[in-house]
Each structure stands twice: as C-alpha cells, then as structure tokens.
Amino acid sequence: MKKAYRVKKEADFQKVFHQGKSVANRQFVVYVLDKPDQSHFRVGISVGKKTGNAPVRNAIKRKIRHALIEFDQKSELKQEKDFLIIARKPTADMSFFEIKKSLNHVLRLAKMM
C-alpha cells in the first residue's frame, strides 16, 4: 500500500478518532471521517499490545493491508475518506480469510463500500 494511502501523523489519527464516526463488530472498530478535498482514501491501522507480541501484531497488520488492497482493486472502497481500523484481541487467532470477511462486514456497516 502506497504511503499516500496511509494516515501516518498523530494529528491526523487524532482528528479521525475524535471527529469521525465509529462502527464496530467483535473483531474491529472503524472510525470514518469525510475528506471531500481528497482524491483517494487514507487508512490508519492500529493493533494494541493486548492482542499479542510484535510479530503477531505485525502479521495482523499485514493481513488487514492485504485485504484492503484486494477491496481497492475491485473498486469497492469509497474514496475521499480517512478511516482508522483498530483490531481487537480475537483477530490474533484468525486466518486471513476470516479477517477479510470480518473487515468486509464492518466496512459495510461503516458505509465504506
């Protein structure tokens, strides 16, 4: 995923976190903020320490990024939005396909697809 498609700065994270709307299921929390002046979406991914050690957290982030790339290639994701994906503890034990299915569910609830 290109750097232009990522929310990297702490100020941007906080803006989406405080001003965005949240939707959740058992595995993920998603915060969405409209950005009409942007030509594409940006995503921030957060996995807390309660989920597991560093290799586990990094593996979860890789799976989430891979699922997002697949959604973007099918042009399913809405553009002109910033969103944060916060992974909860159950994601540590999930396969890629389970993560993709759950992420699909929560993004549909957030009206990102």
Q: In the prediction, which pLDDT does 5 show?
A: 87
- Ordered structural domains, the chain, with CATH: 10-110 (3.30.230.10)
* pLDDT tens-digit map of 3-61: 888 898 999 999 999 999 999 999 999 999 998 888 888 999 999 999 999 999 999 99
Measured CA to CA in angstroms, residue 81 lies from 31, 58, 70, 96, 110 at distances of 10, 24, 18, 25, 11
98 vs 77, which has greater pLDDT? 98
Q: In the prediction, which pLDDT does 86 show?
A: 95
* pLDDT tens-digit map of 60-83: 999 999 999 888 887 888 888 899
Q: In the prediction, which pLDDT does 38 show?
A: 86
Q: In the prediction, which pLDDT does 77 show?
A: 84
Question: In Å, how far from its chain's centre is CA 5?
Answer: 11
